[in-house]
């Protein structure tokens, strides 16, 4: 193999590895079973979902809420507190998401409708 061919092969290999690492996955193929909590949040955020929304809140303890759904059946809600703790909830119905992001009291809505009911 010539030096030019070797350099071309190495360059092409690096290009393929980098481009594959930047491609987000389809939400129907997301697998969170064998990874940690922080890794799961990262995977959710970089996956392509048909519905992906984020809302900043004016709550005293909830900083932001995010909702990710493939088909409004497989869904994840990520809540970030003012102390930057993140919580994942799975299978949260889309109507509950709309209620949460439009609630008068985010903390009250979370405690009454989500906490303890939709665990990751």
Specify the DSSP element, H or E, that contains 89: strand 86-90
- Domain contains 78: yes
Q: Is residue 74 part of a domain?
A: yes
CA distance 64 to 95: 18
Q: What is the pLDDT of residues 89-118, one digit of tens each?
A: 999 999 999 999 999 999 999 999 999 999
Q: In whole angstroms, what is the distance from residue 48 CA to residue 51 CA?
A: 9
Residue 9, in any domain of the structure = no
CB 87 within 8 A of CB 65: no
For residue 20, tell me if it sits in a domain. Answer: no
How many domains does one find in the chain?
A: 1
Q: Is residue 120 part of a domain?
A: no
- Dist CA 50 CA 15 (whole Å): 28
pTM over 0.85: no
pLDDT at residue 16 in the model: 47
Tell me 15's DSSP state: H
Name the residue with higher pLDDT: 7 or 99. 99
Is 11 inside a domain boundary?
no
Residue numbers of the domain that contains 30: 26-113
Q: Is residue 7 part of a domain?
A: no
Q: What is the pLDDT of residues 49-67, one digit of tens each?
A: 999 999 988 889 999 999 9
67 has which bridge partners? 53, 77
Give the separation between CA 111 and CA 107, rounded to whole angstroms.
6
- 99 lies in some domain: yes
């Amino acid at each position: 193999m010539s030096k030019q061919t070797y350099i071309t092969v190495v360059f092409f290999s690096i290009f393929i590895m980098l481009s594959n690492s930047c491609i987000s996955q389809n939400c129907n193929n997301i697998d969170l079973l064998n990874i940690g909590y922080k890794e799961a949040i990262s995977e959710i955020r970089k996956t392509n979902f048909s519905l992906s929304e984020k809302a900043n809140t004016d709550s005293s303890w909830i900083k932001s809420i995010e909702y990710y759904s493939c088909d409004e059946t497989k869904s994840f809600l990520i809540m970030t507190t003012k102390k930057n703790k993140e919580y994942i909830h799975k299978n949260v119905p889309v109507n509950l998401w709309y209620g949460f992001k439009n609630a008068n009291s985010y903390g009250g809505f979370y405690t009454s409708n989500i906490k303890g009911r939709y665990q990751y």
